[in-house]
């Protein structure tokens, strides 16, 4: 109780400062702007990006919606998982999250006030089809997403919709082991069909899956995401085979994508005129040394991590390196399947946060988990000669390496012949997970610097010809970060967990001004 009233006072204090800063700014716009421009000349500007470029922010259903059992939604795999083991640091889960299911209008208001041109969100499968393809469509779920889409469009914000962002009805797991079973492909295509049918008149940018590469590895190799399957030495799970299951799961996901794209192209595209893509977790791999072996291991890392998803959807088969190293363990595509898969995406969604060094394991001793075919006999490490690749963040294996975004974009541009790209996620979380002082959390100068520097390098890749069409900050607001619970914070907005109040951080103010084509110093006057 005491804590709560103290924090309320702090919020009020910061709100007032924020309003004061805005008034100051508005009252002295041109003068202030001119002075800042001279000082901050090197900073990236919105005019460094093409016209029509989509600047936005992203969230996902389980991480923000809450309302986990309202209006006939069924339990998802994440609901079940977090209720049984307790997910976050303190056993936190997404039951309430950011209460976005009830506060979405306010959140769209926030997006509008920032001047966002696009918003990326995902559909909760368990809300739309609580029992998968064997049950009825839930009208309340359709109504919820219709309201979001309509209100976004009313505000001139383009909806980018992800159909599958890690969560699906638990019933599909219980009935047939979800993604380990090819039946999941048909279930997914049915979900996508419902989405196109009900939302496709207004949604023009679809992505089928969010980060299937991270999902398969976390859920089926490391066993840390539901259904928590794995085998030694990767982890200690009740069941699973880390050397094989991730390949089967990816095979089903890739085929589900192919069949969905076919459906969209045949049944909807002509009338609705949208496009369809997929979102891949894209670490930038950098050779640890310039030895031939480490350079080859780095190419293999790209093939095993990124090519595993994109090669089939663009060229119709897994990368050569995977065939070489996995042999008969790699599932096969039939001629007909290859035909469906080839050219089944209109754009590539890139989630990029970090770069990492890559080290060969074919000719040196690595950890038991790296030294395996499923990993391409390579290891990733953060240090070279005792120096970290970049500053640490709140997520293990994520370091601040701004140039990495230029490098990954150029690599993807080259390998996939400059297919249109969107940066569907990029963001910063502070390593200080136990920071509770709201004034310190709001003064997120490092997040501002992170986005400025990554955007500078992104602009450079675009000047060099990369067809990148949008950039989404992860995330609009602090939310439920899976296994990290609520302690890892990526948001432009701070969310008070007791009151659900959204408070703009310095980064939100910076983003707003950036989008207004104003350069802005990191230390806003009133914060300094
Ligand atoms: C506005 O700008 C003028 C001239 O640069 C300056 O003298 C004045 O203090 C500024 N006012 C505020 C409110 O910042
Ligand atoms: C943005 O501001 C710069 C000066 O900082 C100017 O050259 C450019 O034309 C502006 N662009 C737009 C789109 O307003
Ligand atoms: C894939 O096809 C090859 C060649 O036809 C065959 O040797 C291999 O066993 C097949 N693999 C699987 C997993 O079916
Ligand atoms: C493999 O490792 C050994 C010992 O570390 C080294 O002498 C040899 O040159 C390496 N082979 C290649 C092809 O780099
Ligand atoms: C915000 O942080 C910056 C450096 O990170 C510091 O210089 C400044 O004093 C801080 N402002 C407040 C109000 O804490």
What domains lie within the chain, and their CATH numbers? 53-422 (3.20.20.80)
In the predicted model, is pLDDT for residue 83 greater than 80? yes
Q: Whose CA is nearest to atom 10 of ligand 3?
A: 328
What torsion do the CA atoms of 492, 281, 276, 454 make, to the nearest 10 degrees? 50
Mean per-residue pLDDT for 497-505?
97
Residue 9 has a pLDDT of 54
Q: Token pair 């990191």 is at which residue?
A: 522
Residue 430 has a pLDDT of 96
Residue 113 has a pLDDT of 97
Residue 18 has a pLDDT of 55
Residue 86 has a pLDDT of 78
Q: Which of 65, 158, 211, 337 is catalytic?
A: 211
Q: In this structure, are residues 401 and 411 in contact, taking their beta carbons and an 8 Å threshold?
A: no
Residue with the bigger pLDDT between 273 and 10: it is: 273
In the predicted model, is pLDDT for residue 7 greater than 70? no
* Mutation test residue for ligand 3: of 332, 334, 335, the one with most atoms within 8 Å of CB: 332
Q: Exposure string (b/e) for 255-293, b if CB count within 10 Å is 16 or more?
A: bbbbbbbebbeeebbeebebebbbbbbbbbbbbbeeeeb
- Structure confidence by residue, pLDDT tens digits, 407-419: 999 999 999 999 9
Q: Token pair 């400059």 is at which residue?
A: 418
Residue 29 has a pLDDT of 39
Instruction: Please confirm, yes or no, whether 425 is among the known catalytic residues.
Output: yes
CB-defined site of ligand 5, < 6 Å: 443, 445, 523, 527-528
CB of 516 sitting under 6 A from ligand 2: no
Residue 522 has a pLDDT of 53
In the predicted model, is pLDDT for residue 282 greater than 90? yes
Nearest ligand, measured from the Cα of 44: 2
In the predicted model, is pLDDT for residue 33 greater than 60? no
Q: Whose CA is nearest to atom 8 of ligand 5?
A: 528
Residue with the bigger pLDDT between 120 and 15: it is: 120
| Alpha carbon 26 to chain centroid, angstroms | 34
Residue 88 has a pLDDT of 77
160, containing H or E segment? strand 158-164
Residue 367 has a pLDDT of 95
In the predicted model, is pLDDT for residue 317 greater than 60? yes
Residue 48 has a pLDDT of 96
- Please tell me the distance between residue 332's alpha carbon and the centre of ligand 3 in angstroms: 6
187 confidence band (pLDDT: 50, 70, 90): very high
Instruction: Please confirm, yes or no, whether 211 is among the known catalytic residues.
Output: yes
In the predicted model, is pLDDT for residue 518 greater than 90? no
Residue 10 has a pLDDT of 53
In the predicted model, is pLDDT for residue 34 greater than 90? no
90 confidence band (pLDDT: 50, 70, 90): confident
* Mutation test residue for ligand 5: of 428, 432, 443, 446, the one with most atoms within 8 Å of CB: 443
Residue with the bigger pLDDT between 397 and 16: it is: 397
Side-chain-side CA neighbours of 504 within 13 Å: the count stands at: 24
- Closest residue by Cα to residue 375 from 479, 281, 234: 234
- Structure confidence by residue, pLDDT tens digits, 339-387: 999 999 999 999 999 999 999 999 999 999 999 999 999 999 999 999 9
Q: What is the 3-state secondary structure (H, E, C) of 23-54?
A: HHHHHCHHHHHHHHHHHCCCCCCHHHCCCCCE
CB of 295 sitting under 6 A from ligand 4: no
Q: Is the peptide bond before 475 cis (omega within 30 degrees of 0)?
A: yes
Secondary structure of residue 399 in the 3-state scheme: strand
Mean pLDDT over each residue of the chain, to the nearest integer: 92
- Structure confidence by residue, pLDDT tens digits, 204-248: 999 999 999 999 999 999 999 999 999 999 999 999 999 999 999
Q: Whose CA is nearest to atom 6 of ligand 4?
A: 363
Nearest ligand, measured from the Cα of 14: 5
Residue 89 has a pLDDT of 75
Residue 38 has a pLDDT of 40
Q: Which two tokens stand for residue 349?
A: 């969604």
Residue 17 has a pLDDT of 55
In the predicted model, is pLDDT for residue 37 greater than 60? no
Secondary structure of residue 356 in the 3-state scheme: strand
Of all residues in the chain, what percent carry a pLDDT higher than 70? 90
Mean per-residue pLDDT for 164-186?
98
- Structure confidence by residue, pLDDT tens digits, 132-141: 999 999 999 9
pTM: 0.90
* Mutation test residue for ligand 5: of 21, 437, 445, 446, the one with most atoms within 8 Å of CB: 445
- Closest residue by Cα to residue 449 from 398, 396, 366, 523: 523
118 confidence band (pLDDT: 50, 70, 90): very high
39 confidence band (pLDDT: 50, 70, 90): very low
Residue 68 has a pLDDT of 98
Q: In this structure, are residues 472 and 423 in contact, taking their beta carbons and an 8 Å threshold?
A: yes
Nearest ligand, measured from the Cα of 20: 1
In the predicted model, is pLDDT for residue 337 greater than 90? yes
């Amino acid at each position: 109780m005491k804590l709560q009233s103290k924090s309320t006072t702090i919020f009020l204090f910061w709100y007032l400062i924020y309003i004061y800063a805005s008034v100051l700014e508005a009252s002295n716009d041109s003068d202030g702007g001119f002075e800042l421009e001279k000082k901050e000349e090197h900073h990236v500007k919105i005019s460094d990006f093409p016209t029509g470029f989509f600047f936005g922010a992203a969230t996902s259903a389980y991480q923000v919606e809450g309302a986990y059992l309202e209006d006939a939604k069924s339990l998802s795999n994440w609901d079940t998982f977090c209720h049984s083991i307790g997910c976050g640091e303190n056993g936190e889960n997404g039951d309430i999250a950011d209460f976005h299911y009830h506060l979405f209008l306010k959140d769209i208001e926030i997006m509008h006030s920032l001047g966002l041109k696009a918003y990326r969100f995902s559909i909760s499968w368990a809300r739309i089809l609580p029992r998968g393809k064997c049950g009825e469509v839930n009208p309340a779920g359709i109504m919820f997403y219709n309201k979001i889409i309509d209100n976004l469009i009313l505000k001139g914000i383009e909806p980018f919709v992800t159909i599958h962002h890690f969560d699906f009805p638990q019933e599909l797991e219980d009935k047939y082991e979800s993604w380990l079973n090819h039946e999941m492909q048909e279930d997914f295509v049915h979900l996508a069909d419902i989405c196109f049918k009900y939302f496709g008149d207004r949604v023009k940018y679809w992505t089928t899956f969010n980060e299937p590469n991270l999902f398969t590895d976390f859920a089926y190799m490391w066993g840390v995401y539901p259904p928590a399957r794995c085998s030694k030495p990767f982890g200690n799970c009740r069941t699973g085979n880390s050397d094989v299951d991730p390949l089967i799961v990816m095979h089903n996901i890739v085929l589900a994508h192919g069949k969905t794209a076919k459906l969209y192209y045949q049944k909807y595209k002509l009338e609705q005129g949208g496009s369809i893509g997929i979102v891949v977790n894209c670490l930038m791999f950098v050779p640890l040394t310039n030895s031939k072996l480490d350079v080859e291991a780095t190419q293999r890392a790209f093939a095993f991590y990124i090519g595993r998803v994109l090669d089939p959807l663009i060229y119709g088969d897994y990368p050569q390196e995977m065939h070489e190293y996995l042999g008969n363990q790699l599932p096969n595509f039939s001629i007909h399947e290859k035909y469906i898969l080839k050219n089944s995406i209109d754009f590539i969604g890139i989630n990029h946060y970090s770069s990492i060094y890559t080290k060969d394991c074919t000719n040196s001793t690595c950890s038991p988990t790296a030294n395996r075919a499923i990993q391409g006999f390579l290891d990733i490490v953060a240090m070279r000669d005792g120096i970290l690749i970049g500053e640490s963040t709140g997520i293990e294996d994520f370091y601040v390496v701004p140039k990495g975004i230029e490098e990954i974009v150029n690599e993807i541009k080259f390998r996939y012949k400059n297919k249109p790209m969107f940066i569907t996620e990029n963001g910063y979380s502070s390593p200080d997970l136990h920071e509770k002082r709201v004034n310190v959390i709001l003064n997120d100068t490092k997040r501002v610097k992170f986005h400025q520097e990554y955007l500078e390098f992104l602009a450079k890749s675009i000047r060099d010809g990369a067809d990148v069409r949008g950039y989404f900050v992860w995330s609009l607001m602090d939310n439920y970060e899976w296994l990290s619970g609520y302690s890892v914070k990526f948001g432009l907005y701070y969310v008070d967990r007791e009151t659900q109040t959204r408070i703009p951080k310095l980064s939100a103010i910076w983003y707003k001004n950036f989008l207004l084509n104003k350069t802005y110093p990191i230390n806003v006057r009133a914060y300094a």
